[in-house]
Structure 1
Amino acid sequence: MIGWQDEDGRVHRGSLFAAFAALADGQAWSFPALRPHHREPWHAFTVQIAAMALIHADTDTLPTGEAAWRDLLTGLTPDLPEAWELVVDDWSKPALLQPPTLAPTDRAAYKNRIPTPDALDMLVTAKNHDLKQERMAGASDEDWLFALVTLQTTEGFLGAGNYGISRMNGGFASRMSLGIRPLGGAARAFRRDVARLVADARARADRRAGTMLLWTVPWDGTLSLAYDGLDELYVEICRRVRLRRTPAGIEALAAGSKCARVAASDLKGATLDPWAPMKADGTTSHTPSGAGFGYRQMATLLDKTKITLPRLAKADPADDREGLAIVAAALVRGQGKTEGLHRRTVRTPGALRDAEGRPLPINRIGEVAGKRAEEGFQASRRLSRALISLVQGGPDKARLDDDSAKKKIERWMNRFNETVDGIFFDGPFWAEVTATDDNHRMAWRTTLRDIATDTFAVAAEAAPGTEVRRVPARARAGSLLHYEMKKWVEEAEHGE
């Protein structure tokens, strides 16, 4: 049973098919059992399956009843009704996100016992600190389901025999999500994305069909599936896992493989994932860094000279006029470690349309973000020079290659960037996006100057040294900052 919460906070429970019905009917506001790193994989899983089911059934209408969804989804696996059950004792048959074995002897390869769902999709951490390991004893079916979805559709390479998914740029990369979402809960995001994918499929005669649900295909771990034989929206698996019920509850058994499930390493993530931003040259999917989605990273993602937006990150005439957001999310993984779960929601208060109500191209948002991010970088450079001068004691000419000084000013530079990040997408940003006649460039530089000045003042009070040394250092470094910022703002005022 899966639990979901409606907009009024009431909790409902039902089958997988009932959960799809609740999403389609607008009743599922959230899924309380989802852990933070499960959220995007679950959204993608439900959207991909629903879109393929509608396309396969040649209908554009989302049904709202449990029975209708049962018919729709089992229509994808007419000869394999077991494919939607979480635990299937007959391993020659598929279970949900669990491939069948080819021969009875294959079962012996499943030697790795996994007692809890958090051990199944456990984040790679150096120590048992922030996220406790194997703590979900007596877990429910939905806990195992969400862990399976996350493992099978987002996991990377984790040593010999443990290959990652095809929908990312390499085994140590991440499956990133970038999309436009309506605000207001899981159901609205689900319905918007399903409708866009179905409409896109109807509009393209060249759309590639093929195997849709990779867990329905037997796998002994020795053969990969050809990418060209898969449906564009395929839901993949990357590991050989089977669940079984014991007197103590469910547990997982896992086996290694000699190859990845999908032969797509040469594609470097260019797999038509509807949420995956691609490098502008089309060579690879974008992999975010552990820095997450600060204003500079968001500006890069929205820059058409650097990134090609995925289908679900493009504004559509059918989108709501208000209440939209740009959402970027990724569990960033490195070699043998996890570098953080990052998510950024940028609300777009009506600014995805111009004054006449016509949709604005999202690259207009990217253009403004890019300019503002560059201005933020220029302001940070000026602040950095002043702070280096401050910690060096206010010399006539600061040594800008002083690594020790750079380390000392890191906390203040972080403070500056965090402050800028907190206001970057505020109202003035959207006023510039909609192209009013104000001098937004000067206004933004003035704001950055004020933030830099405030940051410098805090640093000057906290900088080490005796009062005899601090006063002249503060005066000289402060004068440097004032002069450079004044000149910089005046350039914008005069249109230079």
Structure 2
Amino acid sequence: MTLRFNLLDDRLLRYRSVDNQPHAASLPELLVALGNDDVRDFPALRPHQRHPWHAFLVYLAASALHAANAGKPLGTADEWRRALLALTPDDDDGAAFSLVTPDDRAAFLQAPCKSGETRTWKKRLLTPDAVDMLITSKNHDMKAARMIHANPEDWVFALVSLQTQEGFLGAGNYGISRMNGGFASRAAFGVVPAGHAGKRWLRDTQLLLEQRASIVKRCDLKSEGGIALVWLRPWDGSSSLSFSELDPFYIEICRLVRLTADGARLFALATSSKAARISAKERNGVTGDAWTPVHMAEAKALSITARGFDYRLASTLAFSGEFERTIASTLRKDDGSEGLYLLAQGITRGQGKTEGYHERRIPVSRRIREAMRVGSTDEIAQRAKDRIAAIADVRKVLWIALCNLLGNGDSSVSDDTKKKASEFTKRFENEEDARFFDDLIEEIESDKQHEEHDKWLVELVDRAEKVLERTFIAGPRSAERRYRARAGALSCFHNFMRLEKHVLQRIVRVLKQRDDARKRARRESSEEVEHDVS
């Protein structure tokens, strides 16, 4: 079998340039385009593949630049090609970057095995999405194995997704080292500067090179001579690599899979393994990864739930000291002061399923940037925490009022009523989630932050009341019970909002101030009318 679909020489990777023109490039040519910040996007890249592809390109470039002793990206495709080949001294013909090679030779993200061994592998996967790690729910979320007219780049993206972010999926199907357990996820959190894909790729690559010695020291990895491209090593499925053998920029694989070709059509053969490729279970996902948030107290990598990066988790990652700041979220002097945002990405994994791809962008305003630059975000974290507590209290009172409404005003509330009330309060919380950081930034950037916070509290209560009023249609339909239930729900809502027993003292205070102001306005208006009459 000859080498086929060589990423170093064949233009298999499509991208759109910043002027929206389509291009096809080899891997070295793509790295040049990224260095020039001329890549707008990758048309064939699926959302859940975005971070694995970005991380792969960063780690690959950082490994090549370190080996070449180069402090900045190379300028030509020929230079990149030589640097990448230098990472694979036993495969100077480019086999390690080819999609199809003989079994006993490394292929792109595919470990070599015994010659002819793949003929005994029973799994035959005909499409890239069958190889990919994404597990859909009974074909409802996204149709499985539908990419029957796939291009080679679709297989490239699927391999990167499988080998660098897959978890445990039953006996013989082990996951990657860069997550906290087989049912966890490879979450990512980092700064994205103004510009295009290349600007972010460049900054993250430079950060890795700068932090290499620190990663080696913290994670007991090899400073020199470690394994960078894990797929170069033969794997029989029963042995594991020691974590201490690895280079700090290692790109791993976790599954036994080999691509082959039937004419011009690619397909994959796969089998199970008896052991994980990298023995790192005890590290709990703490591997020195540039984007993985690590819980400070528990020394564990973050694993997101089905809630994804909601406003609570996102604000914790961005501002609190609960998680160690990721390398990629470190601000650089050349990041600029405009257009920055924090990007959180990840897939929620469960037992034999996925629970959604999650992605969130948090704008980095002027004062947030300054606080991050000096490493002092405690005040912002406290302001976010105060808002989270306020939303929780208002949500609780809204839930009680909704139970009153949906329960027809009766004192006893059924489980079904409680469930319905929870569904409506969840909508309220989702609306607050969507606007959380925009509202928070208005307060942070204001010269009158206390007044801005009080204004937000009043508007928060008003938005909750509107949710309650929109829910009237779901309440009792008969006239007698309808008016009683609505009046009871509104009365409950307003009364509870003004009791410190149920909400924060500050909410009670700002509502009282508004109530008093309205009373004064009505009194003054009444006095003016009486004066005009007299």
TM-score, structure 2 normalization: 0.86
Of the three residues 78, 81, 88, the one matched with 1:77 is 88
The residue type equivalent to 2:163 in the other structure is Q
| Structure 1 residue 365, shift from structure 2 partner | 4.2
For residues 242-257 of structure 1, what are the structure 2 equivalents within 5 Å? 242-257=258-273
| Structure 1 residue 282, shift from structure 2 partner | 3.8
Q: Which residue of 2 aligns with 1:120?
A: 131
What is the CA deviation profile of residues 100-156 of structure 1, one whole-angstrom value per residue up to 9, with x for unaligned ones? 11x336434433211111111152223223322222123111111000000000111
Q: Aligned residue pairs: how many?
A: 489
Q: Which residue of 1 aligns with 2:101?
A: 89
Of the three residues 323, 348, 368, the one matched with 1:332 is 348
For residues 158-197 of structure 1, what are the structure 2 equivalents within 5 Å? 158-197=169-208
SS in 2 for 1:195: helix
Structure with greater helix share of residues:
2
Q: Which residue of 1 aligns with 2:509?
A: 491
| Structure 1 residue 362, shift from structure 2 partner | 4.9
2:476–2:485 CA contact under 8 A, matched in 1: no
Of the three residues 297, 301, 305, the one matched with 1:285 is 301
The answer to which of 216-225 and 175-184 deviates more is 175-184
The answer to which of 272-281 and 219-228 deviates more is 272-281
1:5–1:11 CA contact under 8 A, matched in 2: yes
Task: Confirm whether residue 199 of structure 1 aligns to residue 217 of structure 2.
Answer: no
What is the CA deviation profile of residues 237-265 of structure 1, one whole-angstrom value per residue up to 9, with x for unaligned ones? 00111111212511111121100001111
1:364–1:433 CA contact under 8 A, matched in 2: no
For residues 474-485 of structure 1, what are the structure 2 equivalents within 5 Å? 474-485=486-497
Describe the shift of the 1:354–1:88 C-alpha distance in structure 2 as closer, same or farther (beyond 3 A): closer
Describe the shift of the 1:367–1:181 C-alpha distance in structure 2 as closer, same or farther (beyond 3 A): farther
Describe the shift of the 1:134–1:205 C-alpha distance in structure 2 as closer, same or farther (beyond 3 A): closer
Structure 1 residue runs of 5 or longer lacking an equivalent are none
| Structure 1 residue 360, shift from structure 2 partner | 6.1
Aligned CA-pair RMSD: 2.4
For residues 360-379 of structure 1, what are the structure 2 equivalents within 5 Å? 361-362=376-377, 364-379=379-394
2:64–2:87 CA contact under 8 A, matched in 1: yes
Q: Which residue of 1 aligns with 2:360?
A: 344
The answer to which of 180-189 and 214-223 deviates more is 180-189
Rg larger for: 2
Q: Which residue of 2 aligns with 1:388?
A: 403
Describe the shift of the 1:462–1:204 C-alpha distance in structure 2 as closer, same or farther (beyond 3 A): closer
- In 2, the alpha carbon distance for the partners of 1:385 and 1:317 equals 50
What is the CA deviation profile of residues 248-300 of structure 1, one whole-angstrom value per residue up to 9, with x for unaligned ones? 51111112110000111121211111111112214311111112222123123
- In 1, the alpha carbon distance for the partners of 2:70 and 2:269 equals 38
What is the CA deviation profile of residues 16-40 of structure 1, one whole-angstrom value per residue up to 9, with x for unaligned ones? 1111111111111111110111111
Q: Which residue of 1 aligns with 2:167?
A: 156
Q: Which residue of 1 aligns with 2:430?
A: 418
2:458–2:511 CA contact under 8 A, matched in 1: no
- In 1, the alpha carbon distance for the partners of 2:198 and 2:420 equals 48
Q: Which residue of 1 aligns with 2:482?
A: 470
SS in 1 for 2:399: helix
2:183–2:349 CA contact under 8 A, matched in 1: yes
2:346–2:357 CA contact under 8 A, matched in 1: yes
1:296–1:373 CA contact under 8 A, matched in 2: yes
The residue type equivalent to 2:403 in the other structure is I
- In 1, the alpha carbon distance for the partners of 2:43 and 2:215 equals 37
The residue type equivalent to 1:443 in the other structure is K
2:64–2:84 CA contact under 8 A, matched in 1: yes
Q: Which residue of 1 aligns with 2:24?
A: 13
The answer to which of 432-441 and 310-319 deviates more is 432-441
Of the three residues 95, 101, 111, the one matched with 2:122 is 111
2:399–2:422 CA contact under 8 A, matched in 1: no
- In 2, the alpha carbon distance for the partners of 1:408 and 1:370 equals 28
Describe the shift of the 1:421–1:244 C-alpha distance in structure 2 as closer, same or farther (beyond 3 A): same
Q: Which residue of 2 aligns with 1:33?
A: 44
- In 2, the alpha carbon distance for the partners of 1:307 and 1:205 equals 20
- In 2, the alpha carbon distance for the partners of 1:168 and 1:465 equals 52
TM-score, structure 1 normalization: 0.92
| Structure 1 residue 203, shift from structure 2 partner | 6.6
Q: Which residue of 2 aligns with 1:454?
A: 466
The residue type equivalent to 1:382 in the other structure is V
Task: Confirm whether residue 224 of structure 1 aligns to residue 235 of structure 2.
Answer: no
